[in-house]
């Protein structure tokens, strides 16, 4: 027995030594991974958009040396090089005869040596994978391959024609995903711009009927989103990805001037990634979309955008193929337990631990974790904030009138982390927006996202019916193992100086601008953060925010609105997190993590692809028809048919 016991101890000791040795070797290997810079050490000026603008406007004295910065940036393969390719491609296609021979050669040399997709040789810190980057890289690869079809691209070893064929598959897959499921980065007034730049180049230069027509269709659906979600010319709504400015809004929140151009004053946009859109003669905005944008009636717009991680397998996107990667990483779902092993497979296969955006994955690159498939378990145990980067399915509800719009992602990922999401807000006509959130870090902490105004430390349970939103926050008592901070308050953007009149009374905050009225109601008293007139604090971890929108048309005077709201009955149980609110003879009830009831009836907050007066359609529809004000747009994706007309 003693001998057997000693044998077991010897085996266990040997295994421990082997594991320690393997761990030590892995740690040594991982600690020596190189990381490439996201941006150059010194700022590089990129002037390709200005040069393109000058060429379009007939400038003959072009300073081609201004292109040096752009070429150096792309050659260095710094992040967002694909942005710089958009107008460089337009210069090549439209003004090649005006490019001096020396620069023509420089441009070609940079473009044929570029790394167009993550499966090609090389290493850098470019973001290839988010929804907008996917189509930007694929569009560029296709069109540059088309420009130099017989040239062998030294980095990949492929000819330009082979690059075209390779990119064509990704382009059509991307377009099909948008048709079936909508935009993952839904209503993003940041990233829709990049999609536009990529799509208009395909429309103008691909010379492939399927790509061109399907690109037009997806651009139509993008502009439907913009038209339906805009409050007059201000395109601010709930969103999969939004930064501070994109939540607060203002007169310049016009999608780079496109809402003004298409249904405002008609002013042309300035030089930039989308300038090709207004130069193009190959894309015409369907008149029905302008009519929708100008609709001033009271309208409810319901929509379903994207997929949940739990749907990936059933929808055929759970594998390690490129198409599945595009969906998984397009959702920014890198580290989530159901996806993390796929992510690590792609990172290892394509030498991407050196990519700065993915460098933290090296902490999961231990042999024992890999061999025993333990990475999902480690992620579950650590529960890093990175899981909140994932943009999952958004069932969006928007209520619009001539005076305001109010919008919510219904029941979205209640209590989870959130990186750049925007689940609720209200547009005060087209002047500015208001919203609330749980900040991920304090105001003076410098992070891109999540931070004080961007994303959420923890998401609320947020729901809406017409002009009323109910939101309940349940902030944990203890900070997560990898959570940056855990603040014990929520706050709101409410710019006092931009309203005509405001009134703060305890836990009520009223505002009036022109003929638009609004109110925030909280569990506890509100106060403006010291030294600010736009940052409203509500202390407490288990709190509600009620928002009600109104107008002179609906309530008469502002005083009538205030009186009516103060007489509305509110009940809130901080233990059960159950909120009851009565307004205009209707009873609203929300229980955290449970259903949303109106007059005792559970509300269905899972929507079809489109549900509005303008369009009714399920996901993965064969055809889509948009109809309003005697105007019609008909789209048949599989048969490649796009028609618009007056009825």
- SS3 letters across 124-178: CCCCCCCHHHHHHHHHHHHHHHHHCCCCECCCCCCEHHHHHHHHHHHHHHHHHHH
pLDDT at 481: 83
Model confidence at 3: pLDDT above 70 = no
DSSP 425: E
Work out the number of other CB atoms within 10 angstroms of the CB of residue 245: 15
Q: 174 pLDDT band (50/70/90 cuts)?
A: very high
Encode burial over 111-143: b for 16+ CB neighbours within 10 A, e otherwise.
Answer: bbebbbbbebebbbbbbbbbbbbbbbbbbbbbb
Lowest mean pLDDT across 15-24, 131-140, 331-340: 15-24
Q: Grade residue 102 by pLDDT with cuts at 50, 70 and 90.
A: very high
Find, among 330, 466, 348, 351, the residue nearest to 398 by Cα.
Answer: 466
Q: Which residues of 289-326 are buried (b: 16+ CB within 10 A; e: fewer)?
A: bbbbbebeeebebbbbbbbebeebeebebbeeeebbbb
Other C-beta atoms within 10 Å of 595: how many? Answer: 14
* pLDDT over 70 (residue 4): no
pLDDT digits 0-9 by tens, 215-225: 999 999 999 99
Contact 251, 264 (CB under 8 A): no
What is the rounded distance in angstroms from the CA atom of residue 53 to the CA atom of residue 49?
6
The C-alpha angle with vertex 58 and arms to 55 and 64, in degrees rounded to 5, equals: 40
Cβ-based neighbours of 5, under 8 Å, separated by 6 or more: none
Report the percent of the chain where pLDDT is more than 70. 99
User: Dihedral of the CA atoms 139, 141, 147, 152 (nearest 10)?
Assistant: -170
Q: How does the average pLDDT of the chain come out, rounded?
A: 95
Contact 118, 79 (CB under 8 A): no
Q: What is the pLDDT of residue 482?
A: 86
Q: What is the DSSP string of 373-416?
A: T-HHHHHHHH--GGGGG----EEEEEEE-SSEEEEEETT-STT-
Residue 28 binned pLDDT confidence (cut-offs 50, 70, 90): confident
pLDDT band for 485, please (50, 70, 90 cuts).
very high
Could you tell me which residue, 312 or 448, shows the higher pLDDT?
Answer: 312
At 322, give phi and psi (nearest 5°).
-60, -40
**Residue 19 confidence (pLDDT):** 74
Distance CA 558, CA 561 (A): 5
* pLDDT band (50, 70, 90) for residue 5: low
CA 315/CA 393 separation, integer angstroms: 13
CA-based nearest residue to 366, from 380, 378, 384: 378
The whole-number average pLDDT for the span 172-196 is 98
645 vs 140 pLDDT, higher one: 140
User: Is the torsion defined by CA of 194, 197, 198, 203 positive or negative?
Assistant: positive
The structure tokens listed for 142 are 């296709």
Burial 509-522 (b: 16+ CB within 10 A, else e): bbbbbebbbbbbbb
pLDDT for 7? 73
pLDDT in tens, 267-315: 999 999 999 999 999 999 999 999 999 999 999 999 999 999 999 999 9
User: From the centroid of its chain, how far is CA 294?
Assistant: 25
pLDDT score recorded for residue 18 = 66
pLDDT bucket at 1, cuts 50 / 70 / 90: low
Q: Percentage of residues in the chain with pLDDT exceeding 90?
A: 92
| Residue 517 pLDDT class (50, 70, 90 cuts) | very high
pLDDT > 60? residue 263: yes
Q: What is the pLDDT of residue 480?
A: 87
Continuous segment of H or E residues that includes residue 550: strand 542-551
């Amino acid at each position: 027995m003693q001998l057997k016991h000693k044998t077991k101890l010897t085996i266990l000791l040997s295994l421990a030594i082997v594991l320690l040795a393997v761990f030590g070797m892995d740690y040594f290997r991982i600690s020596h991974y190189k990381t490439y810079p996201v941006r150059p050490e010194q700022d590089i000026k990129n002037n390709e958009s200005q040069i393109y603008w000058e060429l379009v406007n007939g400038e003959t004295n072009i300073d081609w040396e201004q292109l040096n910065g752009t070429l150096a940036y792309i050659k260095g393969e710094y992040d967002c090089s694909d942005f710089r390719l958009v107008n460089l491609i337009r210069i090549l296609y439209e003004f090649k005869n005006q490019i001096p021979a020396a620069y023509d050669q420089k441009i070609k040399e940079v473009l044929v040596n570029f790394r167009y997709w993550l499966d090609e040789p090389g290493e850098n810190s470019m973001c290839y994978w988010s929804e907008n980057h996917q189509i930007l890289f694929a569009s560029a690869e296709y069109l540059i391959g088309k420009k130099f079809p017989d040239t062998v691209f030294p980095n990949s070893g492929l000819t330009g024609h082979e690059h075209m064929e390779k990119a064509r598959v990704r382009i059509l897959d991307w377009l099909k995903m948008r048709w079936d499921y909508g935009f993952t980065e839904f209503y993003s007034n940041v990233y829709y711009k990049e999609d536009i730049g990529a799509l208009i180049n395909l429309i103008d230069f691909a010379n492939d009927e399927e790509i061109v027509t399907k690109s037009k269709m997806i651009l139509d659906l993008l502009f439907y989103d913009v038209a339906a979600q805009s409050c007059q010319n201000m395109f601010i709504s709930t969103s999969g990805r939004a930064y501070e400015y994109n939540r607060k809004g203002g007169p310049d929140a016009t999608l780079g001037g496109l809402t003004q151009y298409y249904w405002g004053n008609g002013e042309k946009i300035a030089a930039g990634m989308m300038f090709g859109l207004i130069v193009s003669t190959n894309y015409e905005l369907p008149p029905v979309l302008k009519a929708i944008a100008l609709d001033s009636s009271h309208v409810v717009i319901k929509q379903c955008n994207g997929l949940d991680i739990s749907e990936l397998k059933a929808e055929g996107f759970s594998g390690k193929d490129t198409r599945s990667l595009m969906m998984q990483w397009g959702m920014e779902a890198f580290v989530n337990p159901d996806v993390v092993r796929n992510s690590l497979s792609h990172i290892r296969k394509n030498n991407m631990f050196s990519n700065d955006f993915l460098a933290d994955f090296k902490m999961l690159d231990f042999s024992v974790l890999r061999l025993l498939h333990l990475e999902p378990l480690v992620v579950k145990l650590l529960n890093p904030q990175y899981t909140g980067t994932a943009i999952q399915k958004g069932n969006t509800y928007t209520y619009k009138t001539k005076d305001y719009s109010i919008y919510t992602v219904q029941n979205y990922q209640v209590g989870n982390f959130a990186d750049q999401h925007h689940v609720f807000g209200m547009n005060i006509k087209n002047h500015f927006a208001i919203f609330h959130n749980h900040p991920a870090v304090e105001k003076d902490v410098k992070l891109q996202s999540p931070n004080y105004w961007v994303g959420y430390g923890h998401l609320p349970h947020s729901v809406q019916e017409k002009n009323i939103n109910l939101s309940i926050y349940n902030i944990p008592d203890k900070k997560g193992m990898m959570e940056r901070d855990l603040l014990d308050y929520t706050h709101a953007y409410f710019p006092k100086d931009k309203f005509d009149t405001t009134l703060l009374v305890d836990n009520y905050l009223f505002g009036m601008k022109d003929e638009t009225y609004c109110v925030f109601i909280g569990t506890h008293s509100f106060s403006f953060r010291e030294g600010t007139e736009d940052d409203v604090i509500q202390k407490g971890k288990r709190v509600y925010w009620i928002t009600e929108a109104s107008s002179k048309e609906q309530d008469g005077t502002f005083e009538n609105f205030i009186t009516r709201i103060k007489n509305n009955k509110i009940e809130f149980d901080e233990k059960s997190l159950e909120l009851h609110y009565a307004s205009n003879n209707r009873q609203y009830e929300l229980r955290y993590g449970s259903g949303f009831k109106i007059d005792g009836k559970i509300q269905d907050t899972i929507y079809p692809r489109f549900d509005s007066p303008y369009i009714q359609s399920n996901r993965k529809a064969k055809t889509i028809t948009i109809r309003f004000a005697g105007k019609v747009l008909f789209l048949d994706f599989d048969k490649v048919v796009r028609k618009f007309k007056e009825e």
